[in-house]
Structure 1
């Protein structure tokens, strides 16, 4: 193992930093073995010895840890010193037949992950991507199957895709030998599989220089929360596609406490990010169609949410029903209904004009808002 990276002034006492007798992370490019990568492992700023921020940036304090911190992180002390969230490395790559170095799982993940939660921290898991080893969907599955999922309740952040500089001496360039189009396809495959299985977009951990180079300034992932690595006091220029960061890993950390980050918002906003579940409509239909003017038509549908494992009915929630007459661009709210115990809603209207009907759920502290597709009814 190599020397400790620079200690960063993050308001954590010397006693806390000394706790746990954790081993220092090896310097990238100098003996890093399969499975030893961690958030920021390949960052050139860290390779140079660690570049610390002049002062802690504004925002809620957090840390990220991996196997180097061992099973006995003093989470209670970190909480006492202002830390409010933690990211824990869960996995790296995925199991590949014939490759004995594939498919790493952090042996201390459960101790670290559960320990952070018991101390009252909002926690999340991260996956160190090896896009040259196996496909994005396969690595997303490996991540979820080994602790990287998401659940409702407000204590778990969406999982993190750590996609960054190649930290290994494997003969590949910083983009793992992938062309930008290949890299974008890999990231999208990971994201799509993660969203399908958990209902959430993964957080993306990356560095602006790496992202812009290895994805050719791709702008299509801006709907994913961004955890940006930038070791300095700012200002932070986000990668292409994002207006700002959600989390900022602003410096290299220590063997005992991991790397420091801040959340760009309040504790209330952090809890909202952890708690909100994906919602969706099914079977939204207006009819019968065509309909005679002056007769009644009915709008029906169902609202549901994803609990991190499967879709479930979302009961007792207000849904607004909107109408846009044919030949106009203005949507008019026609009614507000409440879903029943099975998430279903129904409302009758007098057919006056032909046009489009749709439903909208505004969302709230625990659920994302959503708007259904439009259903056209011909009124004659």
Structure 2
């Protein structure tokens, strides 16, 4: 039996081959491969698509998180970052790189997204920022979080949206990336808007923060060779990736609709003993994730029928052996849901280039499972 993969990037290439080859030739022939017109054009287009004023391209999504945190966590007395432990370690990595302390709060089981009440309970005088991850392509109600922080007396705490899995996501009156002080995106190839290599961006409606981001992603320069800001680095979105992303942007809405239709088909398959992870505020189906009490048994059932599975993500940040002994804190309400869920989550294939026959096959495999 032919295996149905979690993703197949070659299919994406073949689908857009003519455009991608033309773009490659044009960019390479221009001799302008860094910080050129394609970069500027894509950033304008992506900012407009997200309804945000400023977009600054960077080298990858991890750099975006690090630079965003450097921009807003500037008070030596406020070095804690409230975040979740179930989102793959990316925010924690950024915190470790610049000496910040992650404070982990729990998630809502049905969505696997940060619990707003527990976030507010973990915020205090040492909080420098809150990072909200729109995990699996599900929207966190950031306006509700902002209102809750304001009511608790923490209106000045910056919010960073991690939108690495949320390109084109809309809900709560706007789009993911338009709610926070800053928003970070990754354009890793498997993302809803993915390039043919690494890439990332930081978005904001604040002109001063946009200027700060632009300096930090280019050595801290104000002008060439003129370092005015400490903590800068070299992190640029190259011309080739920017041009590829601009071409893919016009397909984003249709691709997201295809992802959601795949998940809808899976839901309708009559699956037994599993719950589909979903946000009530909006989704773009970055991943199709279930919760089940016997993950190994379900994975074995699907694998035997040629359906690939994966776990996003199998280890909580606070339990990573490489960070053993590093400074961290658990919020006052604990992370019981996160600990329970990390043993129950399982991802199944969901990407726009899946064929109808493959979708039907996954539906049959899911429908034949009995808890």
The answer, yes or no, to whether TM exceeds 0.5 is no
TM-score band, normalised by the shorter chain?
Answer: under 0.3
Task: Give the structure with the larger helix fraction.
Answer: 2
| Structure in which a larger fraction of residues adopt strand | 1
Bigger RCO of structures 1 and 2 (CA < 8 A, at least 6 apart): 2
TM-score by length of 1: 0.22
The structure that has the greater radius of gyration is 1
